[in-house]
């Protein structure tokens, strides 16, 4: 009897310690990045381009580049993802086609980010002659976040009660009008939440833009979608690995990391808060 | 145009959109093969996969990726050894044990971990863990298997945790009640009833977590060290496949054999993760719980 009790206590301790390790790891990590990075953050750092072969100055072009790439990715992925989810949630009735589409979405979600990079290089940069530029990078990132958008949109659409559809159809409204006027507006908050998570993902990815959009350094700001850009994640990678001033530029590196982490986690946090708000205040 | 015809057209337009994921997967395969296959004019498939010399810039070059494949598997296996217990136990904590308030805080924390950009973890490994490890254990380099595996584990934990948690939640309430009615304690119910019932979901979680680790690029690129040899100790450097592609693509001349070899490495990596995903899909459907009536 005593052994039975002891075993259970041991299990509970193991479970609690696992949770604690995860919480401490992420908490410690964030605090460490904040403490080391905050010193580098200044108005100049956020609004000036790098100077003296990137050992001084700011990271404004990288912030701007990440903004362009992410905005492009979401513009591409959102309509495609929502349309795809509408079919899966509203029209599909089971069967082989649906099964295959679902496996396709799951497999696309599992493709390694570097393979997206190779694909973007092969299709957009080389085959379509876009070259390494904002357009190629945004398309590659858009494809990367497509499964995220599809998944979130489908969940949001499925969350709209069946009675809403029946009421609309019962009034003689066509199926398409029902989807457009009744289902989509009610699913919109959920779809947006999922898209915001997609934005966070796209902003933090490095491997897919290495060969398709990102530049080590650009003297000018981009003026068209066919220009190369600097991007925050790639900037972190470049500063930390390439160059002769790795130790000297540590403060800039920590500062860039802090900006990137704050940006990505800030976006994710907005999505998480929005989601729990929607769940609590749903009127149905 | 009658209303019915219009509805059918609209439905089929949406079907086309839904097929886009399949089309993209097809395009990925097409372009990987288009740019990767030419390497097999200078090296056989067998020599490419199992050759132990990766010297793409030598004269004559050697294109054997066996050490890269081994590197990928070694870091993935060690990452899983860390991430599987952490992920599954933390899922049990969230689903069954945590008080509501802690659960409300802990779940978003795990989600934030999932959202952390990999380059940031790679940077942390390079700037903080590597020097610390090198000094503490008196190693030639801190950029090695242990360091990379630890960071990969952090990336795999959220995947494993959140999918396991869903599986635990979907265990019917009756199972728990039946177990309690027989006099089992909470822990016995969790270990003997809930976890076994959720096992297919937990297996799926583990497979997808491993798939995430094997395909992860920035961490292994920055932290694994990059040595192209079969490792002999866990403190050796390795060069997993994604690291090799990311590090060398920038230098490989356009459409040289080196360039084609990197695409061919991409083919191997793609089908490896595709395999993991298909297995996960199979496991989750084959052994799916459909309510309490199935047992």
Q: Which of B79, B85, B91, B116 should be substituted to probe chain A, the one whose Cβ sees the most A Cβ atoms within 10 Å?
A: B116
Contact B3 A106 (CB under 8 A): no
Q: How confident is the model at residue B288 (pLDDT cuts 50, 70, 90)?
A: low
Structural domain includes residue B88: yes
pLDDT computed for residue A2 by the predictor = 78
Put simply, the chain A residues between 71 and 100 with a CB less than 8 A from any chain B CB are: 80, 83-84, 86-88, 90-92, 97, 100
Between CA B204 and CA B166 the distance in angstroms is 11
The nearest alpha carbon in chain B to A11 belongs to B187
Q: How confident is the model at residue B112 (pLDDT cuts 50, 70, 90)?
A: confident
Q: Using a CB cutoff of 8 Å and minimum separation of 24, what contacts does B290-293 make?
A: B291/B172, B292/B172, B292/B174, B292/B175
CB of B29 less than 8 A from some CB of A? no
Start-end of H helices in A205-249? 207-210, 232-241
Domain CATH number, residue B246:
1.10.3720.10
Structural domain includes residue B267: yes
Contact A264 B94 (CB under 8 A): no
- For the cut 80, the answer to whether the pLDDT of residue B294 exceeds it is no
- Which of A26, A25, A32, A34 shows the shortest CA–CA distance to A260? A34
Report CA A90 to chain centroid distance, whole Å.
Answer: 26
Between CA B7 and CA B266 the distance in angstroms is 42
pLDDT computed for residue B295 by the predictor = 47
pLDDT computed for residue A277 by the predictor = 84
Structural domain includes residue B15: no
The residues, any chain, with a CB within 8 Å of residue A96's CB and separated by 6 or more, are none
How many Å lie between the alpha carbon of A8 and the closest alpha carbon of chain B?
Answer: 6
Q: How confident is the model at residue A284 (pLDDT cuts 50, 70, 90)?
A: low
Q: Which of B217, B265, B274 should be substituted to probe chain A, the one whose Cβ sees the most A Cβ atoms within 10 Å?
A: B217
Q: How confident is the model at residue B235 (pLDDT cuts 50, 70, 90)?
A: very high
- Which of B75, B74, B57, B53 shows the shortest CA–CA distance to B65? B53
pLDDT computed for residue A249 by the predictor = 84
Range of the structural domain that residue B163 is part of: 21-294
Put simply, the chain B residues between 231 and 290 with a CB less than 8 A from any chain A CB are: 242, 245-246, 249-250, 254, 262-263, 266, 269-270, 273-274, 276-278, 280-281
Q: Under DSSP, is residue B51 helix (H, G, I), strand (E, B) or coil?
A: coil
- What's the average model confidence in pLDDT over B166-171? 90
pLDDT computed for residue B261 by the predictor = 96
Put simply, the chain A residues between 104 and 163 with a CB less than 8 A from any chain B CB are: 104-119, 121-123, 126-127, 143, 146-147, 150
How many Å lie between the alpha carbon of B114 and the closest alpha carbon of chain A?
Answer: 9
Lowest mean pLDDT among A54-63, A120-129, A255-264, B232-241: A54-63
- For the cut 50, the answer to whether the pLDDT of residue B21 exceeds it is yes
Q: How many CA atoms lie within 13 A of A229 on its CB side?
A: 31
The nearest alpha carbon in chain B to A212 belongs to B250
Between CA A175 and CA A168 the distance in angstroms is 9
Collect all residues of chain A within an 8 Å Cβ-Cβ radius of residue B116.
26, 29, 204, 261, 264-265
Full 3-state SS string of A79-128:
HHHHHHHHHHHHHCCCCHHHHHHHHHHHHHHHCCHHHHHHHHHHHHHHHC
Put simply, the chain A residues between 154 and 183 with a CB less than 8 A from any chain B CB are: 174-176
B55 DSSP β-pair partners = B62
Contact B14 A83 (CB under 8 A): yes
CB atoms within 10 A of CB B287: 12
- For the cut 80, the answer to whether the pLDDT of residue B122 exceeds it is yes
A57 DSSP β-pair partners = A50
8-state DSSP, B190: I
- For the cut 60, the answer to whether the pLDDT of residue A174 exceeds it is yes
- Residue A25 has which token pair? 């790891």
Burial pattern B101-111, b for ≥16 Cβ within 10 A else e, equals: eeeeebbebbb
- Residue B154 has which token pair? 């952090």
Find out whether A211 and A122 touch, Cβ atoms under 8 Å: no
CB of A38 less than 8 A from some CB of B? no
8-state DSSP, A248: T
Distance spanning both ends of chain B, measured CA to CA: 52
Using DSSP bridges, classify how beta strands A56-57 and A50-51 pair: parallel, antiparallel or unpaired: antiparallel
Domain count, chain B: 1
The residues, any chain, with a CB within 8 Å of residue A192's CB and separated by 6 or more, are A274
Q: Which of A80, A143, A175 sits opposite B7 (nearest CB)?
A: A175
Q: Which of A18, A237, A253 sits opposite B90 (nearest CB)?
A: A18
Instruction: State the helix-helix crossing angle for B145-169 and B199-215, rounded to 10 degrees.
Output: 150
Between CA A41 and CA B165 the distance in angstroms is 38
- pLDDT per position as a tens digit, A40-72: 899 989 988 888 777 778 899 999 999 999 999
Put simply, the chain B residues between 112 and 171 with a CB less than 8 A from any chain A CB are: 112-113, 115-120, 122-124, 126-128, 154, 157, 161
How many Å lie between the alpha carbon of A43 and the closest alpha carbon of chain B?
Answer: 22
Find out whether B148 and B220 touch, Cβ atoms under 8 Å: yes
Structural domain includes residue B16: no
Q: Under DSSP, is residue B119 helix (H, G, I), strand (E, B) or coil?
A: helix
8-state DSSP, B39: G
- Which of B167, B178, B164 shows the shortest CA–CA distance to B295? B178
Structural domain includes residue B157: yes
Structural domain includes residue B196: yes
- pLDDT per position as a tens digit, A179-238: 999 999 999 988 998 889 899 999 999 999 999 998 888 878 888 899 999 999 999 999
Collect all residues of chain B within an 8 Å Cβ-Cβ radius of residue A105.
21
Instruction: Set out the domains of chain A in order of their start, with CATH numbers.
Output: 61-281 (1.10.3720.10)
- Residue A57 region, left (φ>0) first, then alpha (ψ -120 to 50), else beta? left
- Length of chain A equals 284
* Cis omega (within 30 of 0) for bond into A17: no
- pLDDT per position as a tens digit, A73-127: 999 999 999 999 999 999 988 788 888 999 999 999 999 999 999 999 999 999 9
Q: How far is CA B195 from CA A7, B15, B95, B96, in A?
A: 16, 38, 11, 11
The average confidence (pLDDT) of chain B is: 91
Structural domain includes residue B8: no
- pLDDT per position as a tens digit, A5-26: 888 899 999 999 999 999 999 8
- What's the average model confidence in pLDDT over B31-38? 96
Structural domain includes residue B290: yes
How many Å lie between the alpha carbon of A114 and the closest alpha carbon of chain B?
Answer: 6
pLDDT computed for residue A264 by the predictor = 94
How many Å lie between the alpha carbon of B267 and the closest alpha carbon of chain A?
Answer: 8
């Amino acid at each position: 009897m005593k052994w039975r009790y002891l075993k259970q206590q041991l299990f509970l301790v193991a479970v609690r310690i696992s949770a604690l390790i995860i919480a401490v790891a992420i908490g410690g990590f964030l605090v460490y990045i904040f403490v080391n990075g905050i010193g580098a953050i200044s108005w100049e750092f956020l609004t000036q381009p790098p100077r003296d072969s990137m050992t001084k100055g700011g990271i404004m072009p990288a912030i701007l580049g990440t903004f362009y790439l992410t905005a492009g990715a979401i513009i591409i992925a959102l309509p495609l993802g929502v349309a795809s989810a509408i079919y899966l949630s509203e029209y599909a009735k089971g069967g082989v086609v649906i099964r295959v589409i679902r496996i396709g979405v799951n497999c696309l979600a599992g493709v390694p980010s570097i393979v997206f990079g190779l694909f973007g290089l092969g299709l957009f940069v080389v085959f379509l002659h876009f070259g390494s530029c904002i357009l190629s990078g945004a398309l590659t990132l858009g494809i990367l976040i497509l499964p995220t958008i599809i998944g979130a949109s489908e969940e949001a659409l499925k969350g709209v009660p069946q009675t809403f559809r029946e009421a609309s159809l019962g009034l003689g409204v066509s199926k398409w009008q029902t989807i457009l006027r009744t289902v989509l507006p009610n699913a919109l908050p959920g779809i947006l939440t999922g898209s915001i998570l997609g934005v966070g993902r796209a902003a933090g990815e490095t491997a897919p833009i290495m060969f398709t959009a990102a530049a080590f350094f650009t003297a000018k700001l981009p003026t068209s979608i066919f220009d190369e850009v600097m991007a925050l994640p790639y900037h972190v990678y470049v500063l930390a690995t390439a160059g002769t001033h790795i130790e000297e530029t540590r403060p800039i590196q920590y500062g860039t990391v802090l900006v990137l982490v704050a940006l990505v986690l800030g976006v994710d946090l907005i999505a998480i808060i929005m989601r729990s708000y929607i769940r609590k205040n749903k009127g149905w | 145009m009658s209303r019915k015809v219009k509805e059918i057209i609209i439905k089929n337009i949406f079907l086309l959109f839904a097929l886009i994921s399949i089309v993209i997967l097809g395009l990925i395969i097409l372009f990987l093969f288009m740019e990767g296959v030419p390497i097999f004019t200078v090296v056989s498939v067998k020599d490419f996969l199992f050759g132990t010399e990766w010297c793409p810039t030598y004269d004559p070059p050697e294109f054997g990726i066996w050490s890269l494949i081994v590197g990928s598997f070694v870091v993935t296996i060690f990452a899983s050894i860390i991430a599987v217990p952490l992920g599954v136990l933390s899922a049990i904590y969230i689903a069954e044990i945590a008080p509501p308030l802690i659960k409300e805080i802990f779940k978003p924390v795990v989600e934030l971990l999932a959202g952390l950009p990999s380059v940031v973890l790679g940077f942390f490994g390079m700037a903080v863990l590597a020097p610390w490890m090198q000094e503490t254990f008196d190693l030639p380099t801190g950029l090695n298997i242990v360091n990379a595996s630890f960071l990969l584990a952090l990336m795999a934990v959220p995947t494993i945790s959140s999918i396991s948690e869903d599986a635990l939640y979907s265990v019917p309430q009756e199972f728990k009640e039946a177990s309690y009615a027989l006099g089992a304690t909470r822990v016995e119910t969790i270990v003997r009833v809930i976890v076994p019932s959720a096992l297919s979901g937990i297996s799926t979680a583990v497979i997808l977590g491993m798939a995430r680790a094997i395909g992860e690029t920035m961490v292994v690129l920055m932290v694994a060290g990059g040595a192209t040899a079969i490792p002999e100790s866990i403190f050796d450097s390795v060069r997993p496949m994604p690291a090799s592609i990311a590090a060398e693509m920038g230098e490989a001349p356009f459409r040289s054999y080196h360039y084609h070899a990197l695409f061919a490495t991409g083919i191997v990596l793609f089908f490896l993760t595709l395999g993991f995903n298909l297995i996960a899909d199979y496991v989750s459907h084959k052994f799916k719980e459909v309510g309490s009536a199935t047992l």
